[in-house]
Amino acid sequence: MTAGSYMSSRNARKRCSLRHRETRSSPCLSRREVSCMGDETLIRRQSKRRTLSALGGVAKLQRFSPIHYLHRRYRAWGFLLNGPTIIQEAYDKAGSKPFEVLAPDARYIFVTTPEHVKEIDSAETELSLYYASRQILQPQYTMHHFGWFDRPLEGVGFVRALRVHLTNRIPSLLPGMREMVKERFAELQMRNPVVGGVTHTPLVKTIIKTVVLLEAHAIFGPELAQNEEFLENAVLYIEQLALCAEIIRACPEWMAPFLGRLIGRWHTAQRFIFESLMPIVTRRCQEREMASRGESVPKHDDCIQWLLDSATSKVQRTPKGVAHELMAIWFAALHPISVTIIYALEDLCLHPECIQPIRDEIHAQYSDFESTTQGLPLLDSFIKESARLSPVESQSVRRRAIAPFTLSDGTKLSVGDWACTPVTSMMQDGRYYPSPLQFSGFRFAPPEVVASIGVDAYLASPRQEKPSKLIEGDQTFYMWGVGKQSCPGKFYASALAKVVISHLVDEYDIKLVDPTAPRWWTWRTTRVPNEETMAIFTPRQR
């Protein structure tokens, strides 16, 4: 079935106008070439021509310098291992101007001023998160043949499912979540190795296995969340997806179909997840049909149902469409929040002076938080400070150019280039954050809350002029992206982090086995937590 036959007429028009736009703005392509191509092929061709023009333009190929070219490729490949440092160096040199960083498969233009961020966020027909995500995920090979473009141009349905339905559901999810953390963590601890009479907890694996259970409940529903084999594959799916997509991205584009099919066979978890989802989603679709005929059907309140209720196109209402959306959401959901919690727990061990005020706050306010999702400002600030200094990502507000675009200062993006923000560099910039590299757990908390701790040292440590919450972004804090394409799961993510950390801090004394060990390694723009990190969780005596 073709993509076009699925699309609503509005989206068909939108895509059509995009194609025309690309055609008009690409003098290098003949009419015949364009008429034979899909959107993606068109972008690839333009991208190749852009590479030539970046080297001096097709007309100026005589000036092509092999040394210059090799130097650029060397820098681009170096980005994979050294991304955050390369971005930081370029940021320091650029002042507030846009700057270029090369990766093997893209040219990134980083912007920093609020005006430029607004420009890239508003350029919806030229710059697309949807296309950037497709490049990151390679869903046709890593998500069981997900036809990314078979659905509306921007995935309105799943955004609504998360931003509206999941967020509204948080108060009813919260009370059961702490109990789940308690049981899961205790069960995992029993399986962890004992060294010299003390249980050594592999922090990364244990937190991921805890978070996976909570998120599976909200996203896949209770039936699959109780299936241990499914949960194991849900973690494996993320790991295999990330690896496969990276291999495909690192190779020349003409190899992608062949390589993708080959690697796809090894990526067994995608099949497992898809095949586990299909019977459940198919049943839900049947129930929806029955309900439309007035028959009585069970009520469900999970992401499968919200996706069906929020779908804006026919393809998103099919069992396959829903299963694919779930697989995409799952990738976005599991990794960043697990890693944020891991780094926050490590930071608690490295800054033990913050633990007692946070414990006192949990004692005083946790039940209110559970019923209202509000409160716990010290813990909230601590997580935000940890995310500021140990962010998962060094790049945010990612948009891939699907048509040429020029920023107001004249910086040009060709088709295939990316616009984005250097989120880490901005969050650690002394112009916006006093003593930017100093960890100050209560930096973002309201002054009266910090004063109520009654210890002057907390008041004296660096603090922001204006308090803010973890879920609040601003012109210097792009952890959640920006505007209407900012993270639709951020309220849930923030609540989940608080539940997990509150339980562990309240019930255990935590310390790292080796506080000096490296906490992460980097790949492209991501900080990947060190799987070797061991922690000791000692149950607290009360």
Task: Please report where in the chains the tokens 């209720």 appear, as a residue.
Answer: 309
Site string for ligand HEM, 383-402 (x = CB under 6 A): ---------x---xxx----
Least gap, CB of 81 to ligand HEM (angstroms): 22
Token pair belonging to 456: 């002057």
| CA–CA gap between residue 367 and residue 348 (Å, rounded) | 22
One DSSP character per residue, 154-201 reads S-HHHHHIIIIIIHHHHHHHHHHHHHHHHHHHHHHHHHS-EETTEEPE
Q: Which of 260, 422, 441, 488: binder of ligand HEM (CB under 6 A)?
A: 488
* Closest to 499 in 3D by CA, of 204, 213, 179: 179
Q: Give yes or no for residue 155 binding ligand HEM (CB under 6 A).
A: yes
Q: Give yes or no for residue 485 binding ligand HEM (CB under 6 A).
A: yes
| Candidates 19-27, 63-71, 74-82, 333-341; binding stretch for ligand HEM (CB under 6 A) | 333-341
Residue 36 annotated as part of some ligand binding site: no
Q: Give yes or no for residue 250 binding ligand HEM (CB under 6 A).
A: no
Q: What are phi and psi of 536, to 5 degrees?
A: -115, 120
Least gap, CB of 397 to ligand HEM (angstroms): 5
Sequence-distant (6+) residues with CB within 8 A of 515 are: 349, 350
Site string for ligand HEM, 463-482 (x = CB under 6 A): ----------------xxx-
Share in percent of the chain as helix, strand, coil (round to 5)? 60, 10, 30
Output 156 or 536, the one with its CB closest to ligand HEM: 156
| Per-residue DSSP letter, 98 | -
Output 152 or 155, the one with its CB closest to ligand HEM: 155
| Candidates 25-33, 97-105, 250-258, 487-495; binding stretch for ligand HEM (CB under 6 A) | 487-495
Output 139 or 336, the one with its CB closest to ligand HEM: 336
Site string for ligand HEM, 489-508 (x = CB under 6 A): x--xx---------------
Q: Give yes or no for residue 213 binding ligand HEM (CB under 6 A).
A: no
| Residue 484: burial class (beta carbons within 10 Å; 0-12, 13-18, 19+) | exposed
Least gap, CB of 52 to ligand HEM (angstroms): 28
Residue 318 to residues 6, 288, 308, 315, Cα–Cα distance (Å): 11, 11, 9, 5
SS3 assignment, position 528: strand
E strands in 404-498: 405-406, 412-413, 418-421
Token pair belonging to 278: 């299909």
Least gap, CB of 173 to ligand HEM (angstroms): 11
* Closest to 229 in 3D by CA, of 193, 283, 264, 275: 275
The answer to whether residues 421 and 478 touch, using CB atoms and an 8 Å cutoff, is yes
Q: What are phi and psi of 106, to 5 degrees?
A: -165, 160
Token pair belonging to 96: 């507030």
Q: Give yes or no for residue 234 binding ligand HEM (CB under 6 A).
A: no
Give me the residue whose beta carbon is nearest to ligand HEM.
489
* Closest to 103 in 3D by CA, of 132, 78, 129: 78
Least gap, CB of 148 to ligand HEM (angstroms): 11
Output 79 or 331, the one with its CB closest to ligand HEM: 331
E strands in 303-460: 396-401, 405-406, 412-413, 418-421
The H or E element containing residue 508 is strand 508-512
Q: Which of 315, 333, 344, 499: binder of ligand HEM (CB under 6 A)?
A: 333
Q: How many residues make contact with ligand HEM (CB under 6 A)? A: 25
Q: Give yes or no for residue 323 binding ligand HEM (CB under 6 A).
A: no
Site string for ligand HEM, 424-463 (x = CB under 6 A): ----------------------------------------
SS3 assignment, position 178: helix
Output 281 or 419, the one with its CB closest to ligand HEM: 419
Residues of the binding site: 487
Annotated binding residues for heme, written as ranges, equal 487
Note the residues at the interface with ligand HEM (CB under 6 A). Answer: 129, 133, 155, 159, 162, 166, 329, 332-333, 336-337, 340, 392, 396-398, 479-481, 485, 487-489, 492-493
